[in-house]
Amino acid sequence: MRRRLYHLLMLAAALGGRVVSAQAQARADSATAQALRAVADGVLRDASFDFVDSATARHYAVPDTAPARARLRIASPYNDWRYWNGVLHLAMLRAADALHDERYRDFVRRNVAFAFDHAAYFAVRYAHEDRYAYPFAHRFGMEELDDYGAEGAGVIEVSAFDHDPRYRPYVDSAAAFVTTRQDRLPDGTLVRGRPRRFTLWADDLFMSVPFLARMGVLTGDRRYLDDAARQVINFHAHLFDARAGVIYHNWYSDGGGRPGVAFWSRANGWAMMAQVELLDRLPPDHPERDALLALFRRHVAGLARYQDTSGLWHQLLDRPDSYLETSATAMFTYAIARGVERGYLDASWAAVARRGWAGVLTRIRPDGQIEGTCAGTGVSDDLADYYGRPTPLNDVHGVGPVLLAGMEILRLAP
C-alpha cells in the first residue's frame, strides 16, 4: 500500500499536481492524513508525563516523592523541555486544527504546564550539579538559544488559549535574554561561545527568529520583527555559498572569519523554516520584506538541485554518498509547500514539495514511528562526523517537522 501511494504521489509531483484525478488526489490526501494521525497519536501514546530513576527504573508521577538519592530523568522524550519539543508543540497545535482533534491541543497545554509544574524542584537540584544533570535544565537555565527560543515560541502559542499567569513572565524573560544578554557579533548577529568564540550556527536561525517574530506580534513592538529580519539577512551573508546555492552549517568569527565544512541538510532545514515563520508574520510594508523574499527564493532554488529521485535529501546536501535524511526533507517540504500556499513561491515549486512528502511517507511506519532522522549534531570540521551520525528510530528532531510538512501538503491546492 505504501509503495502504491509513493508512486501516486511521485506522479502527482511530476505533473505538478495539475492533472491527477480528483479520486487519486483524495486517496493521497487520505493517506497523508492517516500518516499524520499515526504520528500524532504516537506522541499521545508515548508521552507518559512521569519520571524514572535511572538507577532503579522505578517511575514517579511527581519528582518530590522520589528518594533524595534518586537520579531522575523524564521518562518520555516528548515531555522534555528542549528545542525539538518546542517544534513539536507548534506542530501539535496545528494538527489539532488540521485534523480536527482537540486531543493534540490538550497534549500541548498539559505538556507546557508539566514543565512549569516541576521545573522548580529540579532548579534546586541543578544549583549543585552539572548543567544537564537533571530534567528541565533548559527551562530554568538560559545560556544558549537552544534553551528557550523554540520553546518560547510554543509558550506564546499556548498562552493564547491557556492564560496561565506563569507564562508571560517566562516569555518576557526569554525576550530580555535574547535582546540584551545573548552573545552577538558587532553587527548584531546571534552567535554561540562554542566550539570557538564566537561561532555562528545555522540552527540558531530557527532558535531565534520564530520567537522574535511572535514577540513582535504579541507586543506590537516592531523592533522584534526588525531583529528577526536582521538575523535572516546576516545569517545568509555569513553562511550562504553562492556556488553551492545553500548554507554552511556554521561560520567561525575568529581569524578573520571562515565557514565550516559541511552543507548539513538539517541546518538548511532550520533556516528554511525560520524564514517562512518570519514571512508569515512580517507586515506587508516592512522595508526588508522584498530582500527576505529574495533570500528565501534563492535558497529554495539552491536546495532543489540536491533532491534525490526518491524525493528525499541527503544528510550532506552535496554528498550523494551520505545517507538520505528524513527531518531535513520534512523541513524543506514544509517550507516550500507553505511558500507556495502563501504566495512566497511560484506554484511550480509545489512539485518539489510533493516529491519531498512522497519520500517522507516512506519513512513513516504504520504505528507512526519515523525512520531516518539524524540524531542531535554539533558543528564539526570533519565531514566523517556528519556521515556517521546515527538515526535512532523516532528521534524527536523529526516528529514536529514531519507533522508540519504533511499538514502543509494537505493545504496545497491540487
pLDDT at 39 over 90: yes
pLDDT band at 6 (very low <50, low <70, confident <90, very high): low
CA dist 341 and 353 (Å) reads 11
Q: Give the span between the Cα atoms of 162 and 252, in whole angstroms.
A: 41
Residue 251 has phi, psi (to 5 degrees) of -145, 130
- 218-233 pLDDT per residue, tens: 999 999 999 999 999 9
Separate counts of helices (H) and strands (E) for the chain: 15, 10
In a domain, 163, yes or no: yes
CA distances 222 to 120, 213, 225, Å, are: 33, 9, 5
Q: What is the pLDDT of residue 5?
A: 60
Percent of the chain with pLDDT over 70: 94
For 251, the 3-state DSSP assignment is strand
Confidence of residue 9 (pLDDT cuts 50, 70, 90): low
In three-state secondary structure terms, 97 is helix
pTM of this prediction? 0.94
Q: Is residue 106 part of a domain?
A: yes
Q: Can you give the residue range of the structural domain that contains 90?
A: 56-178
Please tell me whether residues 130 and 233 are part of one structural domain. Answer: no
Instruction: Using the predicted structure, report yes or no on whether residue 13 has a pLDDT greater than 70.
Output: no
The pLDDT assigned to 8 comes to 59
Beta-bridge mates of residue 199: 192, 252
pLDDT digits (tens, 9 = 90+) for 170-190: 999 999 999 999 999 999 999
Of 178, 209, 232, the last residue of a domain is: 178
Residue 16 lies in a domain: no
User: Looking at the domain assignment, is residue 405 inside a domain?
Assistant: no
- The count of other CB atoms within 10 Å of the CB of residue 91 is 29
3-class DSSP assignment, residue 252:
strand
Q: Tell me which amino acid residue 79 is.
A: N
pLDDT recorded at residue 414: 74
Domain total for the chain? 2
Question: Residue 11: what pLDDT?
Answer: 57
Q: What is the mean pLDDT of the chain?
A: 94
Q: Say if residue 206 is in the same domain as residue 264.
A: yes
Q: Is the pLDDT of residue 7 over 80?
A: no
Look up residue 405 and give its DSSP letter: H
Residue 129: per-residue pLDDT: 77
Q: Of the residues 282, 305, 328, which one is the last residue of a structural domain?
A: 305
The last residue of a domain, from among 154, 178, 202: 178
Which pLDDT belongs to residue 125?
A: 80
Residue 199: band (very low, low, confident or very high) from pLDDT cuts 50, 70, 90: very high
- Average pLDDT of span 242-261: 96
Same domain, 215 and 110: no
The pLDDT value recorded for residue 127 is: 76
**What single-letter amino acid sits at 42?**
G
Whether residues 283 and 169 fall in one domain: no
pLDDT at 15: 56
- 388 within domain boundaries: no
